Amino acid sequence: MPNVDANDLLELIQSRRTVRKFDSLKPVSQDSLTRILEAGTWAPYAPYYPQGWKFIALRGSLRDEAVKIITKSHSIMKYLRALYESAPYGGEVESEEEHHWKEFAHDFGKNLGGAPVVVVGLVPYDSTVEILGHNLGSAWAAVENMMLQAQAEKLACGVVTIHTPHVVKELIKFLGLNENEWVVAFILNVGHAAEIPQVVPRKAGLFEIRS
């Protein structure tokens, strides 16, 4: 077993942020991207489709074409609406903070924050809800590995999902896969952060140790 300090690892986990605004002109190195993708493959997986996932990283014009498809999804706007409603906005006079937020929302809704790399995570479709749920769970274990590796690479990440059926199918076809055989589990934006959000303190009582 590697000699990894337990406290250092916890500190790395705690330092991870969900970033939504990236420096689009600063590329992600091939070595870093390879390690991030490989980290995903070392996640635990369900037994029904052993290592059945696919992680497809898109850069350049392919990334831009994929983003045009992804941002058609109502899921992106629902996410932004939920963020807006959780903040103290909506007063008679627009605050500087609210104006900044609207600029951010416009940029993210149009271009996923300018991340130079978009990783699409896919899992096999299965008509049995339980099996599909296990497949999706495996993918989310994988994306956490990727986000932590990105943090170790001094890169930033933000994960989104899309649930608009025709958009999901269009994206899968764009990737050259059969839309009846695959499901999009997540979309991970990767790059250098242009803006890092503040820490959200964790609530007390989220875990227990019983004996």
Q: What is the pLDDT of residue 56?
A: 99
Residue 155, CA distances (Å) to 15, 29, 39, 128, 197 in order: 12, 10, 14, 37, 14
| Distance in angstroms (rounded) separating the CA atoms of residues 185 and 67 | 16
Q: What is the reported pLDDT for 91?
A: 55
Q: How far apart are CA 185 and CA 135, in angstroms?
A: 9
Q: How far apart are CA 194 and CA 166, in angstroms?
A: 32
Half-sphere exposure of 112 (CA within 13 A, CB side): 28
CA–CA separation, 49 and 44 (whole Å): 12
This prediction has a pTM of 0.89
Digitized pLDDT (tens) for each residue of the chain, 211 residues in all: 788 899 999 999 999 999 999 999 999 999 999 999 999 999 999 999 999 999 999 999 999 999 999 999 887 777 777 766 666 545 555 567 666 666 777 778 789 999 999 999 999 999 999 999 999 999 999 999 999 999 999 999 999 999 999 999 999 999 999 999 999 999 999 999 998 888 888 999 999 999 9
CB 9: neighbour CB atoms within 10 A? 12
Domain 16-87+96-195 belongs to what topology?
A: NADH Oxidase (3.40.109)
